[in-house]
Structure formats: C-alpha cells, structure tokens
Homo-oligomer: A and B are copies of this chain.
C-alpha cells in the first residue's frame, strides 16, 4: 500500500488518493452516455416496466394484453410504454385499431439475460 497524503481539492473536498480520482475521471464515459445509460437502467428498474419488457420477450402484445397481464389500467400501461418507446426499448406496429408492442432490438433481451444471470448466481 502506498503512503496516503491527505490533501484537498480546489473546492475544499478532502482527498486521500488523488491518483485514483484522476484515473476514474480519465476513464469515465462521456456525460451524455452515462446519462442515457442511467435512463435505460432506470426504465428497467421499475417492477411494472420490467415485467412488461419481460413479457414482451415472448412476443408482441397490445396495450390491453399488457394491462390484463399486469392487472393495471390500460392508461397506466400506455404511460409506461411511452417512456419505454422514448428510450427505444420497445417499438410499436399498427394493425387496424390495434397497436402491437414488441422489444426494439436484441440488445434489450441481452440486458435482461445478463441481469437475470446476475441475480440468479448472486444469491441462489
């Protein structure tokens, strides 16, 4: 372990390992990228939305299907679908009056798969 020299940053924040901080700053992903990544995780971090997404892995569903599946209002589902659509996690296809929602691409499934592996191996 290298010796620790307690110093301060310009703003007055205490710092023990300046090298670590410099490195973390240097390797950090661009702010915009980090923000978008956080938004995607956040979207998947709500039980309702997560179950919607996981349900859509089995195939496309319309709004009222998802509402029945989750036991929620169609309005609630529609609100969440808009959020997921804005993040390009799901896409829609119209057939007459009915809108069919499905996962936007395979990355979404990948995200879920890795996440499931984590929670399954993490504490069986």
A-side binding surface: helix, strand, loop or mixed? Answer: helix
A122-B117 Cα distance, complex, nearest whole Å:
23
Whether a CB of chain B sits under 8 angstroms from the CB of A83 is: no
Q: How many copies does the complex hold?
A: 2
The answer to whether A118 and B122 touch (CB under 8 A), given A28-B54, A42-B41, is no
Whether a CB of chain B sits under 8 angstroms from the CB of A45 is: yes
Contact between chains at A61 and B29 (CB < 8 Å): no
Could you list 12 examples of A-B contacts with CB < 8 Å? A9-B68, A14-B67, A20-B59, A20-B61, A24-B55, A27-B57, A34-B54, A37-B112, A40-B45, A41-B44, A41-B115, A88-B122
Contact between chains at B111 and A58 (CB < 8 Å): no
